[in-house]
Structure 1
Amino acid sequence: MASFECDQAEGLRRMLAGPKPRIFTFLSATSVADKSAMLVNLSASLASSGSDVVLLDACISKDGITRRMGVEVQATLLDVARQQRALNQVVQAMPQGFGIASLTSGSVHLATRDADELRRLSNAFGVLAAQSDVLVVDAELDESDNFTIPGMASGDIVIQVAPGAASIKEAYSLIKRLNTQLGRRPFGILVTGADEREAEVVYQNMAHVASRYLAVQLHSIGSIPSDESTTRAARLGRAVIDAFPMAGASVAFRRLAERFTLSANGVKLGA
């Protein structure tokens, strides 16, 4: 079994030799089903464009992407941090074209209570990011409104919101909590379950309130419409862009993947 030190050295070489790893950390103010569908289809769309994509389950609750996809986790980043497994045993290839990994299979609180263990876990997270073209993080905030790993805030933070009062209120609450912990910084807004016109209204209203009351700048990432094709594709165990490439959701996910890919070349996400 390859050692964590070898994995770490390779990750550091990639950090020095290549562009900065792209980390996109997602927080959702939508249902678990909507969040999961978005993460799977976005990751598949990014992979189809030629990127090596890893989707990391970093959820504190049991509503993370690995459980939603029925993935049997064999090794976690915590195992790597404890030098019980190698990093190449953590990422499992999915039929949709991307890899999937999990931060831990047990209590995140216990894993991060010890400062040395948290440091090693953070190092493992950094190496995973360095060895991937794109790291998509399925995240939640803890009871102190922090991310489990500080590095999750080092890239772009995107809030997923739906066009309903409850979802918009929850999304704004997430922004306030993040602002308190991280200080003023921009956030991306992705509206799902809405057409472009409806999504623009949601975004403009949120951007106005965030700017006025928090002095926080929001960026519109785009929108994904409601589309039964997404549900049908999930039942087939496939991404919508593969199963129904001409569907409205497929067009939207491809457009979204292009915007995320452009951000690696210095174009601001949401610009």
Structure 2
Amino acid sequence: MASFDFDQAEGLRRMLAGPKPRVVTFLSATPGDDKAAMLVNLGASLAQAGNDVMIVDACQRRDGATRGVARHLEMERHVSLMQVARQECALNQVIQQAPQGFQVALLARDGVVPRTGSDEQRRLAKAFEVMVKGQGGIVIVDGELNREGGFAVPMLADAEIVVQVSNSATSITNAYALIKRLAQEFGRRPFGILVTGATEAEAKLVYDNMASAASRYLAVTLSSMGSVPADEYLHRAARLGRTVVDAFPLAGASVAFRRLAGRFALPGMTQLGRHGGGAGFDARFNVRVGS
């Protein structure tokens, strides 16, 4: 049986030795595989720019409607952090290296996590905290809310939260409902908005309308992260089993992902945490796609 205490001690030593990671949780109001595909391309863009990147698949549903990053990359049968919490494996066994240049960790196989407040959930949360704080770069969490309206790991409530939305009426409605639910659960705080599958003009309209409604009716500040356009090269790259930034570096989507990655990697950027301000994401919509 693996020694969780030993592995935890090693993680704590790494945590004290290096800089704190930047943790960003992505939620989505877009259908199916959209978020996982977006995060893989974002992770690859960050890695290409020289950043240390880990993507944690914390999706909790495996009903075919939701595909996390690990499943998207066909890495979902690997050992999970839940097994570390159960002392079935060591922490370093959970972390996988993806060919796209970033690391991948799975929170729980088949998305099955313990109920909120249970001893097992507390052990999972501790294992997650040790793993994340042992990182020195950017930790992206492919997440979703549980049935109680919270996260599988409480630490995510203190991280930056970004909501992905498209320009469809259904997606916009779902995104607003998600932000309302987040505000009710975690209190007043800023949230980032990333618009995908839309032109720059369409994305600006989506963001402006959502920001106005959130400010007026929820007293919540939204900050724009920019947009990624609909691009046939995204689908071509996916069919090749590659990221668009690798296969088609001059495509409009590739330009957008590199600029998005650049905003993540800015040194000294103020973060959108529970107690943070909104300076981390420029409130102006100034990402020009495809130029």
Which bin holds the TM-score, normalised by the shorter protein?
over 0.9
Equivalence for 1:40: 40
The answer as to whether partners of 2:2 and 2:88 remain within 8 angstroms in 1 is: no
Residue 266 (structure 2) pairs with residue 262 (structure 1): yes
Q: Aligned partners of 1:57, 1:22: CA distance in 2, in Å?
A: 16
Identity %: 57
1:218 to 219, 222, 230: 222
Q: What corresponds to 2:27 in structure 1?
A: 27
Looking at structure 2, the residues matched to 22 and 4 of structure 1 have their Cα atoms a distance apart, in angstroms, of 24
Once the two structures are overlaid, the 10-residue window that deviates more, 206-215 or 37-46, is: 37-46
Structure with more of its chain in helix, by fraction: 1
Q: Distance in 1 between matches of 2:262 and 2:243?
A: 16
| 1:258 alignment partner AA | G
- Normalising by structure 2, we get a TM-score of 0.87
CA contact (8 A) 1:90 1:101 kept: yes
**3-state SS of paired residue (2:164):** strand
Q: Does the 8 A contact of 1:230 with 1:239 survive in 2?
A: yes
Where 1:32 maps in the other structure, the secondary structure is coil
Q: Deviations over 1:81-119 (max 9, x none)?
A: 11111111111111111111111114635x235622111
Cα deviation for residue 136 of structure 1 reads 0.9
Q: TM-score, normalised by structure 1?
A: 0.93
Gapped runs of 5+ residues in structure 2?
272-278, 283-291
CA 123–131 in structure 1, closer or farther in 2 if over 3 Å, else same: same
Is 1:155 aligned to residue 159 of structure 2? yes
Structure 1 residue matching 2:212: 3-state secondary structure: helix
Letter in 1 for 2:3: S
Q: Give unmatched runs, 5+ long, in structure 1.
A: none
Partner of 1:126: 129
Matched, 1:77 2:88: no
Q: Contact (CA 8 Å) 1:221, 1:269: kept in 2 or not?
A: no
Q: Secondary structure at the match of 1:216?
A: coil
- Once residues 213 and 147 of structure 1 are traced to their aligned partners in structure 2, the CA distance between those partners, rounded to angstroms, is 24
Distance between the aligned counterparts of 2:233 and 2:83, measured in 1?
38
Matches of 2:269 and 2:179 in 1, distance apart?
26
C-alpha RMSD of matched pairs (Å): 1.8
Q: CA deviation at 1:134?
A: 1.5
Give the aligned residue type for 1:223: S
C-alpha spacing 1:183/1:266, structure 2 compared with 1 (3 Å):
closer
Cα gap change, 1:107/1:242 in structure 2, threshold over 3 Å: closer, same or farther?
Answer: closer
Once structures 1 and 2 are overlaid, which stretch shifts more, 92-101 or 178-187? Answer: 92-101
Counterpart CA distance in 2 for 1:218 and 1:182 is: 15
The total of aligned residue pairs comes to 270
Could you say what secondary structure the match of 2:33 adopts?
helix
Matched, 1:140 2:151: no
Higher alpha-carbon deviation: 83-92 or 3-12: 3-12
- CA distance in structure 2 between the aligned counterparts of 1:215 and 1:39, rounded to whole angstroms: 29
Following superposition of structure 1 onto structure 2, how do residues 1-271 of structure 1 map, counting pairs within 5 Å?
Answer: 3-62=3-62, 63=66, 64-106=68-110, 108-109=112-113, 111-112=114-115, 115-132=118-135, 133-262=137-266, 265-266=269-270, 268-271=279-282
1:184: how far off? Answer: 0.3
User: By how many angstroms is 1:130 displaced?
Assistant: 1.5
Q: CA deviation at 1:42?
A: 0.6
Determine the C-alpha separation between the residues in 2 that align with 1:26 and 1:263. Answer: 21
3-state DSSP of counterpart to 1:121: helix
Structure 1's consecutive aligned runs of 4 or more residues displaced over 4 angstroms after TM superposition are: none
